């Protein structure tokens, strides 16, 4: 029997039983919810963002939108929800209860306040003393809050990242993690700023600012609130490449751990994040879609993957791919291949032909209804790979090394 791989990791001195955390979002709205998630097997959770009681928060009626495939295969999710409406006092009571019932789970308190040092100092002191294991500073929420000087408004300004991180660090009794927004030109700079200000870790990404769609019958933007809408935060499978890019850039630029977030729905997504250097992963949208129970497969799938690959511990794969992510100018320009079509596998659909003909190098020969397989003109093929990825038959088009 295969040895069960070790899924535990360390994060800012805290022990994590598995690398799956619930991110600060609707699934961590209350203590009761977080406790149910812990029972299902989540390794940790970041509370929905706690803000000072004096800061008003509204929840618009109808605040989600999706972009999906038929049968609701989720591609992209949007929300224009604000942070937690609940008073700090309620959270303190509930944090204590969660930690009492689940002392070994990683509980992180998420915070947001106006960019005033004293507000952050107070909030960081109060919440850290309530018994959370860590704090996460929400400097990334891109909708609603920035209009009032909070969330991404702070995360887009290095001076505020520095000031607020320092303020939280000053009073917090636990490690402080800074959650960054991808809606910036240079996220590595933001992460370095947080590190230099004393942050113990970063987390990325918060949602990506977007506009999910317009109802072409009513002409109303989505999600519609009494006929109007605003730009919202995108999450779900389609933002994963953005999240991965950000996490890799942060991992390359800093030497504090980064918690990976963005489009993680399956254990495979988690493996990818871990390979590019994430210390652990945070999940939200996939849980909003199908519930806490998905953690069963996340944990089991990761364990099976590690054991299939011969790894004894999840820590062995962390950052394994990171050194292979480099600058475009450092890629090998002497590496040459051409596409090669397997005559037996070709189903003569002509998809490779039309793609190469209309968007490539006119390098594929194909006679419709001739029952002859498509063929690559190796002289013309520039190995752009369009045919390979468009071909509907797995393994039909492969690469041939040429001099």
Partner 1 sequence: MSGRTHPIVVPPQDRIKGFEPYVPNLDDRTALYEATRCITCYEPPCKNACPTRINIPEFIHRIKSGNYYGAAKVIRESNVFGGECGYVCPVERLCEEKCVRNSLGEEPVAISLLQRFAYEKEKPKGLHKFALSKANNKRVAIVGAGPASLSAAYELARGGYNVTVCDSNKKPGGLMAYGILPWKAAWSVSESEIDNIIDYGVKLIQGKTITDGKALLNDYDAIFIGTGASKSVCMGIPGEELKGVCLAQEFLFDVAKYLKKEGKAPDLKGLRVAVVGGGDTATDASMAAVRLGAERVYIIYRRSLAEMPAVPYGRKQAKDEGVEFMLLTNPVKINGEKGAVQAIECVKMELGKPDASGRRSVTPIKGSEFKLDVDAVIIAIGQKPDDETLKSFGIKTEKGLIVADKENYATSVKGVFAAGDAVNGGETVVEAVAEGKKAAAAIDKYLRR
Of residues 344 through 363, those in contact with partner 1 by CB under 8 A are 347-351, 353-354
Helical packing angle, 187-196 and 240-253, nearest 10°: 40
Strand, helix or coil for residue 152: helix
Among 212, 366, 381, 397, binds partner 1 (CB under 8 A): 366
Residue 384 vs 393, nearer CB to partner 1? 393
Position among 368, 382, 399, 402 found at the interface with partner 1 (CB under 8 A) = 368
Q: Which stretch binds partner 1 (CB under 8 A): 63-71, 152-160, 191-199, 255-263?
A: 63-71
Residue 380 DSSP SS3 = coil
Measured from the CB of residue 336, what is the shortest distance to partner 1 in angstroms?
28
Token code pair at residue 233: 């935060």
Distances (CA, A) of 3 to 295, 301, 307, 312: 21, 15, 7, 8
Residue pair 181/139 in contact by the 8 Å Cβ criterion: yes
- Active-site residue, from 12, 14, 29, 141: 141
Q: What is the DSSP secondary structure assignment for residue 313, as one 8-state letter?
A: B
Site string for partner 1, 318-347 (x = CB under 8 A): -----------------------------x
Block residue for tokens 């996220």: 187
Binding mask 65-94 for partner 1 (x = CB under 8 A): ----xxx-----------------------
Q: How far is the CB of 351 from partner 1 (least distance, A)?
A: 6
Q: How far apart are CA 26 and CA 289, in angstroms?
A: 11
Which residue number, 29 or 349, has a Cβ lying nearer to partner 1?
Answer: 349
- Provide the Cα torsion 102, 16, 258, 75; round to 10°: -70
Active site residue 396: no
Q: For residue 97, what is the enclosing H or E element? A: helix 88-101
218 versus 326: smaller Cβ distance to partner 1: 218
Which parts of this chain interact with partner 1 (CB under 8 A)? 69-71, 347-351, 353-354, 366, 368-369, 392-393
Active site residues: 141
């Amino acid at each position: 029997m295969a040895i069960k791989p070790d899924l535990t990791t360390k994060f800012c001195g805290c022990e994590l039983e598995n690398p799956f955390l619930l991110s600060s979002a609707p699934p961590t709205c209350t203590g009761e919810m977080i406790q149910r998630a812990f029972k299902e097997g989540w390794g940790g959770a970041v509370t929905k963002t706690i803000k000072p009681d004096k800061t008003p928060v509204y929840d618009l009626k109808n605040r989600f939108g999706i972009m999906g495939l038929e049968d609701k295969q989720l591609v992209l999710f949007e929300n224009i929800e604000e942070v937690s409406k609940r008073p700090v006092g309620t959270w303190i009571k509930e944090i204590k209860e969660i930690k009492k019932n689940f002392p070994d789970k990683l509980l992180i308190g998420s915070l947001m306040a106006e960019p005033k040092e004293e507000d952050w100092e107070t909030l960081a002191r109060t919440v850290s003393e309530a018994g959370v294991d860590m704090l996460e500073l929400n400097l990334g929420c891109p909708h609603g809050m920035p209009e009032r000087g909070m969330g991404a408004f702070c995360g887009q300004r290095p001076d505020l990242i520095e000031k607020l991180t320092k303020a939280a660090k000053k009073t917090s009794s636990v490690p402080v993690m800074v959650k960054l927004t991808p809606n910036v030109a240079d996220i590595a700079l933001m992460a370095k700023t947080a590190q230099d200000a004393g942050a113990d870790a970063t987390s990325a990404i918060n949602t990506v600012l977007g506009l999910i769609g317009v109802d072409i019958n009513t002409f109303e933007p989505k999600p519609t609130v009494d006929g109007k809408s605003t730009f919202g935060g995108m999450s779900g499978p389609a933002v994963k490449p953005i999240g991965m890019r950000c996490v890799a850039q942060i991992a390359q630029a800093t030497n504090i751990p980064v918690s990976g977030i963005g489009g993680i729905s399956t254990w495979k997504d988690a493996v990818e994040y871990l390979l590019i250097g994430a210390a652990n992963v945070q999940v939200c949208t996939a849980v909003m879609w199908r519930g806490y129970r998905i953690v069963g497969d996340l944990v089991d799938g990761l364990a099976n993957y590690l054991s299939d690959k011969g790894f004894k511990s999840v820590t062995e794969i962390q950052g394994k791919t990171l050194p292979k992510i480099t600058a475009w100018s450092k890629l090998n320009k002497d590496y040459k291949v051409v596409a090669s079509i397997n005559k037996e596998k070709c189903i003569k659909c002509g998809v490779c032909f039309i793609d190469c003909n209309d968007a490539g190098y006119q390098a594929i020969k194909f006679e419709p209804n001739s029952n002859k397989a498509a063929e690559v003109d190796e002289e013309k093929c520039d190995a752009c790979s369009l045919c390979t990825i468009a071909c509907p038959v797995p393994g039909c088009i492969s690469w041939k090394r040429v001099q």
